[in-house]
Amino acid sequence: MANSGFALAVAGGIVLAVIVALTEFGRRAVMPLLVVAQIVPKIAVAPLFMLWFGLGDLSRVLIAFLVAFFPIVINTVSGLSSVDHNVVLLGRAFARSRWKFFLKIQLPHAVPYLFDGMKVSITLAIIGVIVAEFVSSQRGLGYLIMFGNGRLDTEMMMTAIVVLSLMGLALYGVIALFARMVVYWRNPNEV
């Protein structure tokens, strides 16, 4: 479920980041709404998602999406907006259209930023699923932590926490490895 929420966050985050970075409407209208959505505590929203979308996997995926979405948008907007001014002037001189300038200059420049956001978001997606499992679930590692807490079973809780940590490290490592392969021009110590 964390993977599904993360995948939705990446897809939606990229689209929204392009809107925010490239349009006045995005900067003035969409970005403030994103910030407000990020400020809302996700643990407070989780029970509402359970009511609206049921106790199944959909509500957990949506909470993971909600938690993981913001870093993708912010980092991608930073990448799209941080192209050097001289490169922007040169690119606009040679690019025939705004679309070509975006595809050939802005988007490649934003890819390392996107991967940085993805590394943060994958761990947040796991936390989002755990929050959803804390609120209402009969299975999953979050449920095991809550169940162990109710029984005062420290061993069960610690085992679930260690498994979660290893899972987060593994997923972070996969994204970091993929980033090194895709962003081959960047210093390996930066990725």
Instruction: Quote the CA–CA distance of 65 and 135 in Å, as a whole number.
Output: 16
Which residues neighbour 128 within 8 Å (Cβ) at sequence distance 6 or greater? 2, 5, 42, 60, 63, 64, 65, 66, 67, 68
Amino acid 95: pLDDT: 67
Model pTM above 0.75 = yes
Amino acid 134: pLDDT: 81
Other CB atoms within 10 Å distance of the CB of residue 90: 12
Domain at 2-182, CATH class: mainly alpha
Instruction: Quote the CA–CA distance of 143 and 165 in Å, as a whole number.
Output: 16
DSSP 179: H
pLDDT, averaged in runs of 10, over the chain (191 residues): 86 93 90 89 84 84 90 93 83 76 86 93 90 78 83 89 91 92 72 52
Amino acid 172: pLDDT: 93
